[in-house]
Amino acid sequence: MYDFKRDTRFAGIRPFEEKVWLSSPTMHGDEMKYMKEAYETNWMSTVGVNLSEIEKEIAEKVGVKYGVALSSGTAAMHLAVKLAAKRLYGSSTGTHTPSGKGCGGALFGKRVFCSDMTFDATVNPVVYEGGEPVFIDSEYDTWNMSPEALEKAFHIYPDVKLVIFAHLYGVPGKMEAITEICRRHGALLVEDAAESLGASYKGLQTGSFGDYNGISFNGNKIITGSSGGMFLTNHLEDAGKCRKWSTQSREEAPWYQHEEIGYNYRMSNVIAGVVRGQTPYLEEHIQQKKRIYERYQKGLSGLPVCLNPFDGENSEPNYWLTAMLIDKEAMASQVRGEREVLWKTEPGCSTPTEILEALECFHAEGRPVWKPMHMQPIYRNHGFITAKRKECVSSDIFQRGLCLPSDNKMDIKTQERIIDIIYRCFE
Ligand SMILES: *Cc1c(COP(=O)(O)O)cnc(C)c1O
């Protein structure tokens, strides 16, 4: 690895004494209280008051009727996708029923439109259910799924009935346009709000626009249970179905009776105690993250870069991660293979790779933006729809973008030092 400490541009820069994280858990004390309560009352399994409390609280916060606490955001997305498939296609394609053998999946042979630039947990559940993701390009305005590209996709594949939409880095997508397009084409919407809990679009919270939605309490999210997730919906019957599937689909019978395939996806009451201790601090975390974003915006204003944008008139992000995009003219050479990258430094220019490696060298953690799904080896032969011919927004953002250290415990001095390192990369 290139040694930035010996590079004259970085003369006098000291490594951080304590590692600066991208986004690490921030505990407040009550988490321990609720975990201890679970312990002392011996509600140490997947039933208990912590679970029912957070289901009520989070559903209320997001503005949906029902929440089901699950072992991960991925589990929430899986059951959301499965419920959507069930509603759309019934059990005619699914073979998780006594009538079929094996697990063809509830989406067997069906195409599903999915966000392209996201974590693969957004789209993998489609494949778990035998479906075929077709990726929809991002837009520059929010980095989320482009409504224009989605509209085009419906003209190319008019039979598609399901859209999986992720809000990247806490920035809400253009939900008015997206929900309108879905409605007009008779498609259901599943929202992946794993990164955007607390963010809103036109006064409505992300996670409330879709028919079935998922959020995550993974360790690096805006609030955390150390792990965990939640399924959200307004449909009473489907919330019950989700709960049943998540606890191995036991029927009401004196013995273990199974009439559907089940999963062990329920959250533990101990984990729910951590989440319960965190929920009162969601707004505080958002405010801290917002100040981090604003300090980067001000601090980096002298460089040929911009931050991950949002529609300030209609949306309020949760600012989970601040990401940065280098202007095209200010990009030095950077060639990415499947697992390695080659890069050069050039005066006045830089690359995500150079900045990430410089940060790492001084003990700070950044991250490349999500590598688009259409570029991933597992999904490379899948459909991919862009708004304009010959313009691919997601791969361009991947080439020029990176996530900056956005830990809410990062103090101002530390952030100033990070900004200084980024400046020196452009020298
Ligand atoms: C974190 C994340 C998930 C998955 O959540 P887990 O709780 O880690 O399973 C899904 N989608 C997106 C966009 C995420 O960032």
CA-proximal residue: ligand 1, atom 13 (nearest): 119
For ligand 1, say whether the CB of 246 is within 6 Å of any of its atoms: no
Q: Which tens digits make up the pLDDT trace of 169-204?
A: 999 999 999 999 999 999 999 999 999 999 999 999
For the chain, the farthest-separated pair of C-alpha atoms sits apart, in whole angstroms, at 75
Contact indicator for 339, 363 with CB cutoff of 8 Å? no
Share of the chain above pLDDT 90, in %: 96
Q: Which tens digits make up the pLDDT trace of 48-59?
A: 999 999 999 999
Q: What span, in angstroms and rounded, lies between the C-alpha atoms of 226 and 134?
A: 32
Summarize the confidence of residues 138-151 as an average pLDDT. Answer: 98
Summarize the confidence of residues 212-218 as an average pLDDT. Answer: 98
Average pLDDT value over all residues in the chain = 96
Q: For a pocket test of ligand 1, which of 81, 120, 195, 212 has the largest count of ligand atoms closer than 8 A to its C-beta?
A: 195
Q: Which tens digits make up the pLDDT trace of 339-371?
A: 999 999 999 999 999 999 999 999 999 999 999
> What type of residue is 297?
Q
Buried b (16+ CB within 10 A) or exposed e, 388-416: eeeebbbbbbbbbbbbbbbbbebeeebbe
Backbone angles phi, psi at 385, to 5 degrees: -115, 125
For ligand 1, say whether the CB of 74 is within 6 Å of any of its atoms: yes
Backbone angles phi, psi at 375, to 5 degrees: -95, -5
Q: How close is the Cα of 121 to the center of ligand 1, in Å?
A: 6
CA distances from 419 to 17, 87, 310, 344 (A): 17, 49, 21, 20
Q: How close is the Cα of 115 to the center of ligand 1, in Å?
A: 13
For ligand 1, say whether the CB of 192 is within 6 Å of any of its atoms: yes
Q: Is the pLDDT score of 94 beyond 50?
A: no
For ligand 1, say whether the CB of 218 is within 6 Å of any of its atoms: yes
Summarize the confidence of residues 255-273 as an average pLDDT. Answer: 96
For ligand 1, say whether the CB of 194 is within 6 Å of any of its atoms: yes
* Length in residues, the chain: 427
Backbone angle region of 426, left / alpha / beta, with phi > 0 → left and psi within -120 to 50 → alpha: alpha
CA-proximal residue: ligand 1, atom 5 (nearest): 73
Q: How close is the Cα of 194 to the center of ligand 1, in Å?
A: 5
Summarize the confidence of residues 15-27 as an average pLDDT. Answer: 98
Owner of token pair 């409504």: 147
Q: Long-range contacts for 26-32 (Cβ within 8 Å, ≥24 apart)?
A: 26/281, 26/285, 26/408, 26/409, 27/277, 27/278, 28/277, 28/278, 28/280, 28/281, 29/277, 30/276, 30/277, 30/280, 31/273, 31/274, 31/276, 31/277, 31/278, 32/277
